[in-house]
Homo-oligomer: A and B are copies of this chain.
Amino acid sequence: MTDRLDRVFAALADPTRRDLVARLADTDATVSDLAAPYAMSLQAVSKHLKVLEDAGLVTRGRDAQRRPVHLEAEVFDLMTAWIERYRRQAEERYQRLDAVLADLAEPDAGRSETTQEAV
């Protein structure tokens, strides 16, 4: 049942993988190119790329023995949509709370209909 968002968030929870994504935002690259800067084996980087691929953040082409890695930036939208939804909801709540507090400040100044609980 491990859903798409699970994998996307989990993929980006690792600093090496975030760095890979950051570098791939600039340009496509091969596995060995990507692995070069890190103090870890090529195989470890290959695994990280697999995680990114399973999350749909990255696709791989084929150029002879090389497997150029390409960032699929649209997947970011999935996360942004999730985050923004709840951020907006939380913000609306604060606005509602502000309204209630303003209401309390000037008592029965206009017979407000707000019967929502304050928090």
Chain A residues in the interface with B (C-beta under 8 A):
1-3, 5-7, 9-10, 12-15, 18, 21-22, 24-28, 71, 73, 76, 79-80, 82-84, 86-87, 89-91, 93, 117, 119
Q: How far is the CA of A47 from the CA of B38 in the complex (A)?
A: 33
A interface: dominant SS: helix
Q: How far is the CA of A87 from the CA of B83 in the complex (A)?
A: 15
* Complex partner residue of A73 from B13, B71, B86, CB under 8 angstroms: B86
Chain B residues near A71 (CB-CB < 8 A): 86, 90
B18 close to A90 (CB less than 8 A): no
Q: How far is the CA of A89 from the CA of B12 in the complex (A)?
A: 17
Closest Cβ of chain B to A23, distance in Å, is 10
Chain B residues near A15 (CB-CB < 8 A): 1-3, 5-6
> What is the chain B residue whose CB lies nearest that of A10?
B13
Q: How far is the CA of A27 from the CA of B83 in the complex (A)?
A: 17
Closest Cβ of chain B to A82, distance in Å, is 7
29 contacts between A and B (CB under 8 A): A1-B15, A2-B15, A3-B15, A5-B12, A5-B15, A6-B14, A6-B15, A7-B13, A9-B9, A9-B10, A9-B12, A9-B13, A10-B10, A10-B13, A18-B82, A25-B86, A25-B87, A25-B90, A25-B93, A27-B117, A27-B119, A71-B86, A71-B90, A73-B86, A73-B91, A76-B83, A79-B79, A79-B83, A80-B83
